Structures are given as C-alpha cells and as structure tokens.
Amino acid sequence: MPKSLLLIIRNMNTVRAITREHGHPVDRYTIMARSAITGIHKNDKQTFGLLGKFLGWWEKVMFENKLRLENWKIWLGFAFLKMLQMVGKAPSMDTVKQLIEDEEKRLEKL
C-alpha cells in the first residue's frame, strides 16, 4: 500500500475519532460522497463541452436525490421505532443507541 494512501487512512481515522468524541456532529459520509462526485468530473475530458457539463450536473442531481431518499428512509425508520416504543412493542431509545454504538465499534475493528 502506498505511503500516501496510509496517510489518508490515518487522517480519516483521526477525523472519525474527533467527530465521535463530539457526538458525530457532522455527516462526514455525505460530505465525502459529495466531494467525490464533484472530483470525478473535475478533470475528466468528457466533461468539456455543453453535453459533458450537463451530464455531470445530471449525475450530481441524481446523487443528491439518492442521498435525500436514504435520509428519508432513516428518518422513517426512526419514526416507526418511536411509534413502536409508544405502544410498548420496542426497546427504549437508549437501548437502541447502545446497540448501534456496539455495532459501530465491531465494524471499526474489521
């Protein structure tokens, strides 16, 4: 693995640890995904010209819509979970948060 890639991974781990300490205030996955989509078309020869710029714009619009759809699904899932908690059919939110944190820690070790 190239040293520059190791440096990037190390910096990403540092940023991940800092955001975890602050309670995940930033949606870093969305920010990195948007940056990647913008970077794809930055120096691509196909993006020159009107058609290329339109296709790049269209891809970005479609990507933003997919992000919104995923965020909506997450919101809907939490709303459904809260509804189940109100009727006594789901564990408390603290228990769910603890399960999510345990799963994140397990996935980080992989």
**Mapping DSSP to helix (H, G, I), strand (E, B) and coil, where does residue 91 land?**
coil
Name the one residue in this structure whose structure tokens are 């955001």: 19
Residue 56 CA to residue 41 CA, distance in Å, equals: 6
Residue 27 CA to residue 7 CA, distance in Å, equals: 22
Q: Residues 14-24: pLDDT tens digits?
A: 877 777 777 77
Single-letter amino acid code for the residue at 56? G
Q: Residues 3-43: pLDDT tens digits?
A: 777 777 778 778 777 777 777 767 777 787 788 777 776 66
